[in-house]
Amino acid sequence: MGQRAPLGAGHPPPCPGRGATGGRGAPAGRGAARRVEERPGGGRIAWLECPEGGGGDDTLRIGSPGWLVSEGVVPPRGSVEAPACTRVDLALGRRWLGSLWLADSSDPAAAPLLASLRREGLAVALISGDRDALVQRLGAELGLQRSACFAERTPEQKLALVKALPRPSLFVGDGINDAPALVAASLGVATLEASTPAREAAAIQLLRPGPGGVRDAIDIARRTRRVMRQNLWLSALYNGAALPLVAWMAVPPQVAVAAMALSSLSVVGNSARLLVAAGKGRRSRGARNEASRATAGGLLRH
């Protein structure tokens, strides 16, 4: 539901960077990473290629400050804090190099989507591993109450929260830290920019950017359930009418075959309405996009 500056620690972003950096300089004289490992809930470790005769520790760590401290990295005292941003530290070996401050912003389409879900009686919550100030700010932008915003949650804590939700539940995530919760939810949805572990854990992979695909998935599921119930009623009515007729009189084989084909065609035709509804939805989205582009063009010209 939000956008973030690029980091690459299992959380691929959809927008350009807005983070501020500060520290002791980047590692020089080292080549590409020969091996990279993820640390869920912490960050990422990369083993760098060192030149001939090079010395020192060749491990590059990037992740949360707490995780780097647990790895033996000690940041300098008196470092600047930005509570409304996410802090990511960088270290070479056990030497702290600097910090990245990542500023998040909510997707413009997220607030209307969540409002529509709440109007339908669905409970909506924001579960994140980011700082409380940042999560509360994003929650306010999305129209969520403070009690519905859960900050500084580890992958294990996200998993416990999702398991405690009433069923059925839907969880949308994109990072490696979201993978356990995506599996635990009744329906896990991975965004277009999701990491590989998140895509593998999710039941649905969105194929276009933005949260609008979640609305489409819910609407398609509801239409499909409605059509399935209609098909069951059609089958019940057909069998309820045909069985007494067969018991009362002999039915020629040709009539029986035609009646069976008609029953199948009625079910297939009723199900085909899902394709018609999907086509109308795509055309309406295209019309809205064209209108948005035309409006934006008019504003730019004026």
Q: At 241, is the pLDDT very low, low, confident or very high (cuts 50, 70, 90)? A: confident
Residues 267-283 have a mean pLDDT of 73
pLDDT of residue 140: 92
The per-residue pLDDT for range 6-44, each reduced to its tens digit, is: 333 333 333 333 334 444 444 555 567 778 888 887 889
At 253 the three-state DSSP class reads helix
Q: Distance between CA 243 and CA 249 in Å, rounded?
A: 10
Percent of the chain exceeding pLDDT 90 equals 27
SS3 content of the chain, % helix, strand, coil (to 5): 45, 20, 35
- pLDDT of residue 269 exceeding 70, the answer is yes
Q: Which among 51-55, 211-215, 243-247 has the top mean pLDDT?
A: 211-215
Mean pLDDT over 103-124 rounds to 89
Give the integer Cα–Cα distance in Å for 95 and 92.
Answer: 5
Q: Provide the 10 A C-beta neighbour count for residue 34.
A: 11
- State the average pLDDT over residues 274-280: 70
Given a cut of 90, whether residue 217 has pLDDT beyond it is no
Say which residue the tokens 């530290």 belong to: 89
Q: 230 with 268: CB under 8 angstroms?
A: no
Asked whether residue 201 carries a pLDDT value surpassing 90, the answer given is yes
Q: Starting at the edge strand that comes first in sequence, how are the strands of the sheet with 204-205 ordered? A: 170-173, 187-190, 204-205
Half-sphere exposure for 151 (CA within 13 Å, toward CB): 17
What is the value of pTM for the model shown? 0.67
130 pLDDT more than 80: yes
State the pLDDT at residue 277.
66
With residue 44 as reference, give the H or E element that holds it: strand 43-48
Tokens encoding 222: 């509801």
Lowest mean pLDDT among 154-163, 182-191, 218-227, 286-295: 286-295
For residue 298, the model assigns a pLDDT of: 36
Residue 278 burial (CB < 10 Å; 0-12/13-18/19+)? Answer: middle
Average pLDDT of every residue of the chain: 78
